[in-house]
Structure 1
Amino acid sequence: MTDQNILDVVIVGYGPVGQSLAIHLGERGYRVAVFDRWPALYPLPRAVFHDHEIRRVFHAMGIGKDVEKISQPSAMYQWFNADWKTLVEIDWSAESISDGPVGYLFNQPSLEALFDSKAKSLPSVSVQQGWEATALHQHADHCEVTLRKGSMIEGVWTPTGETQTVRARYVVGADGANSFVRKSAGIAFEDLGFQEDWLVIDLKPNEGVKLDVPDIGQWCNPARPTTMVPGGPGYRRWEFMRLPHETLDELQKPEKVWELLQPWVTPENATLVRYAVYTFRSLLAQNWHNGRVVLAGDAAHQMPPFMGQGMCSGLRDAWNLAWRLDLILKGIASSNLLESYTPERRPQVRAVIDASIAMGQVVCISDPEEAARRDAAYLAGDVPPLPPFPGLTDGLICTQKNFAVEAVAGLLSVHGQIENDGEEMRFDNAMPNGFHVIALDADPESYLDAAAQATLARIGAQTAGITADTSKTVAGRILLDKSGKYQRFFDEHGVRVMIVRPDYYVFGAVKKLSDLPALIADLASRLGVEVDAGQETAAA
């Protein structure tokens, strides 16, 4: 595409998902325009939790240290019955596979402000707020998006009469649950059956006030199922389920809000930040990609909040899309690479939604007899624990049983502290983001044939060995595993070398270093990358 009037990517929607995708692509130098209907960022809290995987993404975006300042490590996530007996404990404070605790609590407006500053600092990114998409058309080599300008007049979005049409090679709909892009692409939502109304209240305790509440808790009280969580440093959140006899109007009156909060907090020791009723739904787009149009975030999925994975899932979408679009826009891979986006993201998100629904069905019981049966089962230990967080089960992963260890493909890869030539650092700081070939106790470069070297050069992959044995380290080539996590990961899965994708998921792993060229050949085939092994020396 040589037409300079055609952008690389247009993103519709400037919430966290659209912001993060703009940053991922803008840092790679792509010409990106982001449009959002609202003239300013939404100023009130929504999401309050992100997990270890997303924290690793924040570091890759260059805002990891800044996010640390506006977040706090999670504590134990506890579920209690009406009598405050513990039914479930999920240790979100435990050490994760990603080098740090499982989860963190934050304030969304503070996070979006970081994203906004970063996105607007990138010279190839244009952020245009106050523009509503009204038409979307696909052509053979690009899309056209028509937008109209609007402003807020007495609290109502009002068109100004100004319009514009932009062209881009790809359009990403990150425009929320009522996505214009999804509807324009003719993509339907599947309803997975969960729907409950909850009053969500955010407040800020006065200076010096310490509230007597569980740090992160679900009070599974059939008289009023209730959630209590931090809303980031200095904030608290309560969520109350609407009971069958209550109207939405009744639940949103200020006096009702303070009545519900009264057992824990009063107007004398805290300030309300906002309160609103949200309908928790479970919806999943049937396909997330149609030609040059792709969906991400709430435009593709909505889930109950009981796992704290709504925003996290959207940020994974953006992170997954970024490296795919990078390879496509560079001409390294064809647009067919987008065909594996839905098979990867949809099953993982479906599993997360299913787990969130299961948790919600436990929490949202309002019948006392049913709640008593639930309590008895949990207190007797008759309920199995939640399944582990899902990895990828389809898409761009190696499932060649004849040489690869199938169970490793699609897992989130390990991350920890390493030492290189006497300097200790995060692994991600030692190696630039991209495809990584990591071998245990060996330098993988020694096991590459010419075709494998050419493939890795073509996709910009990095290679490194890692070892827990100080005698085997080689500066810049075989790094010392200070955390011990890499040794444990390789030992647990019985593999010697793995290929890790730019989004930190394992493409594939093999037991023998001699099988590494076959694993790389499989990656080249699945990416649709063609290389001339004879050009390897020049490429290197």
Structure 2
Amino acid sequence: MNNNKILDVAIVGYGPVGQTLAILLGRMGYNVAVYERWQALYPLPRAVFHDHEIRRVFRMMGLENELEKVSQPSACYQWFNADWKVLVEIDWSAESISDGPFGYLFNQPSLEAILDRQAKAIGNVQVHQGWEVLGLSQNDATCELNMRKVEGDGAGETRTVQAKYVIGADGANSIVRRECGIEWHDLGFDEDWLVVDLQPNAGVELDVPDIGQWCNPARPTTMVPGGPGYRRWEFMRLPHESVEDLQSTEKVWQLLSPWVTPETASLVRHAVYKFRSRIAEHWQQGRILLAGDAAHLMPPFMGQGMCSGIRDAWNLSWRLDLVLKGICSEELLNNYTTERKPQIQAVIEASMAMGKVVCVADPQAAAERDAKFLSGQVPPLPPFPGLEQGLVFKTAKAGVSGSLGIHGAIERNDKVERFDDAFGRGFFLLSIGEDPLQSLDEKLLGELNQLGVRSVRLSKDGAPGTCRDVSGKYHQFFEENQLQAVLVRPDFYLYGGVSTHSEIPALVQSLCDEVSLKREPCAQLSQAKVAVR
């Protein structure tokens, strides 16, 4: 069968990354089709953690109420030595810059079911499950996917699909990546771990850390919630063991026996996973782009595997929107890899560093590690990496350009709500003090409007023409960094900031240049049309 209609975007892979991207693009009004090798959603848990940034993304997608039913705020993440002395504490329960705790634990099948319902409710999103990619090609205008139905009704049917862009979100064994000939770069982490998910019986209280790494050389072990009503253990394969040694149910219950038994819990699943650290050499080939595990793999010790894939989808969605609308040229897609890859590599390297602390099976090496941590010789973990390259203001103040923007409550028109709820998604020129638009000429005002940038002035007292900073977070950030204005991107990251209003024209001009804005003749617009009051 030949599908004559040219899609805006075809997505290969229907895990959380493909689902999220389909929802985002579908709600923007684009014709999207998703193709997934398997007929049904995978029913067993994999990821169990997402951070505040991803929660903010899901809130913007209108999923907050449903997510509350399948997730729980994180507790403090603790690492213990063999004697249960605390080596490291990371407070994932602390207030984050995104307005809420740093992290959440969730059940992935429940999350995917939510995303699945949302995607299939969008009329311009087609979800095709049970289809595999046979071949992939592209020209200057479109991509072509050759597909075959492998499961369900019509198995054996073939189809040719055309799309302006193809996104490979089809996991570590991505056929899209292979079809493009993109190679993996192996960063060197390779460990086998047995992952066990179970459901404690009603009323059973387990005597375990809420979230913990037991750095015991006799058996490095992870213990975390798997979302409400579930628990997960992960056990490292020891050097003298084979993968087969860990596969039997008897062995699983033996390893669990210090904490839980068949009489106190039900086994949901167990499987041996190889924790790896890999990153694709590049994430784009013409009109084909990679996202999620198709582009990068990392050990799970920071809980950033799925989070990183959702960031890819969030980043791609606004770029594709501006390109498909004809506002920006295709060059805007060219710095997707440039921007995302360094951040991902930093996350992978941090995950590997954490893994090397945990994955110590030699008692002497473990004793030396413990002594360093317990004596305070090990420096604290570095902050989560921002964006260092790509669409960031190159002359911005250090620590501002490329950092994740803060989020908090504001008061607008006598209503107090989160900033995102009040204004939605897009580019924002946030400022304090005088009206920043007064410093811009008509050309820049027109380009701001073309790009959809909205000006929001913040104040401590809700003065006329401003929004009151109820949370106080914005003013604290501005004062600590000696800022008067910042430009915020649609993915919450800061393009850059300036210390004086006289620098705002240069900041705005730089954004309009770097975003590959198509400078076609357009009507000049008044400041009132650009400003948000």
TM range (shorter): over 0.9
**CA offsets 1:338-389 (integer angstroms, 9 cap, x no match):** 1110111000000000000000000000000000000000000000111000
Q: Is this contact kept in 2: 1:443–1:478, CA < 8 A?
A: no
* Counterpart for residue 412 of structure 2: 420
Match of 2:296 in 1: 301
TM-score norm. by structure 2 comes to: 0.96
Letter in structure 1 aligned against 2:491: D
Comparing 377-386 and 441-450, the one that deviates more: 441-450
- 2:481 maps to which residue? 493
In 2, distance between residues paired with 1:4 and 1:23? 23
Matches within 5 A, 1:12-161: 12-151=12-151, 160-161=155-156
Q: Deviations over 1:391-421 (max 9, x none)?
A: 0000011113xxx424311000010011112
Q: 1:318 aligns with which of 284, 296, 313?
A: 313
Aligned partner of 1:178 in structure 2 is: 173
Aligned residue type for 1:298: D
C-alpha distance in 2 between matches for 1:441 and 1:131:
56
- Structure-2 change in CA distance of 1:71 and 1:431 (3 Å): same
The 1-side partners of 2:435 and 2:420 are apart by 18
2:433 aligned partner: 441
Once the two structures are superposed, residues 55-84 of structure 1 have per-residue CA deviations (whole angstroms, 9 ceiling, x without a partner) of: 000011111221122111000000000000
**CA distance in 2: counterparts of 1:407 and 1:235, whole angstroms:** 39
Query: Which amino acid in the other structure matches residue 60 of structure 2?
Result: A
Q: Distance in 2 between matches of 1:479 and 1:343?
A: 35
Looking at structure 2, the residues matched to 431 and 460 of structure 1 have their Cα atoms a distance apart, in angstroms, of: 12
CA RMSD of aligned residues (A): 1.5
Does the 8 Å CA contact 2:329/2:518 hold for their aligned counterparts?
Answer: no
Partners of 1:495 and 1:11 lie apart in 2 by 40
TM alignment of 1:303-452, pairs within 5 A: 303-400=298-395, 404-452=396-444
Matching residue's letter, 1:288: W
**Residues 277-292 of structure 1 correspond to what in structure 2 (within 5 A)?**
277-292=272-287
Letter in 1 for 2:463: T
Moved more, 513-522 or 169-178: 513-522
Q: Which amino acid aligns with 1:509?
A: G
Q: Secondary structure at the match of 1:161?
A: coil
> 1:123 & 1:307 partners in 2: Cα distance?
37
Aligned equivalents of 2:112, 2:17: Cα separation in 1: 10
- SS of 2:155's partner is strand
Measured in 2, the distance between the counterparts of 1:473 and 1:531 equals 36
* Contact residue 23 and residue 119 of structure 1 kept, 8 A: yes
Partner Cα separation in structure 2 for residue 315 and residue 46 of structure 1: 15
**Aligned with 2:165: secondary structure?**
strand
Which residue of the partner structure matches residue 155 of structure 1? none
Retained in 2: the 8 A contact 1:444–1:464?
A: no
Distance 2:429 2:386 in 1: 19
Q: Given residue 104 of structure 2, which amino acid in structure 1 is its aligned partner?
A: Y
What is the percentage of aligned positions where both structures have the same residue?
A: 60
Q: Is the 8 A contact 1:437 1:462 kept in 2?
A: yes
Q: Report how far residue 473 of structure 1 moved.
A: 2.5
Contact 2:167 2:289 in 1 (8 A): yes
Q: Match of 1:411, SS?
A: coil
Q: Measure the CA separation in 2 of the matches of 1:161 and 1:106.
A: 37
Residue 465 (structure 1) aligned with residue 457 (structure 2) = yes
Q: Distance in 1 between matches of 2:170 and 2:388?
A: 27
Structure 2 residue 496 is the aligned partner of structure 1 residue 519: no
- Equivalent residue of 1:424, what SS? strand
What stretches of structure 1 move > 6 A for 4+ residues in a row? none
Task: Tell me, in whole angstroms, the C-alpha distance in 2 between the residues paired with 1:45 and 1:120.
Answer: 22
Q: Is the 8 A contact 1:457 1:536 kept in 2?
A: no
Letter in 1 for 2:155: T
Gapped regions of structure 1 (runs ≥ 5): 153-157
Q: Residue in 1 aligned with 2:523? A: 535
Task: Using the TM superposition, give the Cα deviation of residue 448 of structure 1 relative to its aligned residue in structure 2, in angstroms.
Answer: 2.8
Distance in 2 (alpha carbons) for counterparts of 1:523 and 1:406: 17
Letter in 2 for 1:366: A
For residues 308-355 of structure 1, what are the alpha-carbon distances to aligned partners after superposition, in whole Å with 9 as ceiling and x for unaligned?
A: 000000000000000000000001111111111011100000000000
Please, which runs of 5 or more residues in structure 2 have no aligned partner?
none
Shift of 1:4: 7.2
1:277-312 Cα distance to aligned partner (Å, 9 max, x none)? 000000000101110000000000000000000000
Compare 241-250 and 163-172 and name the one that shifted more.
Answer: 241-250
Aligned to 1:222: 217
TM normalised by structure 1 equals 0.95
| Residue type at the aligned position of 1:71 | S
Deviation digits for residues 228-276 of structure 1, max 9, x if unmatched?
A: 0000011000000001111111201000000000000001111111100
The reply on whether 1:484 has 2:476 as its aligned counterpart is: no
Amino acid at match of 2:77: Y
Shift of 1:531: 3.8
Give the partner amino acid of 2:8: D
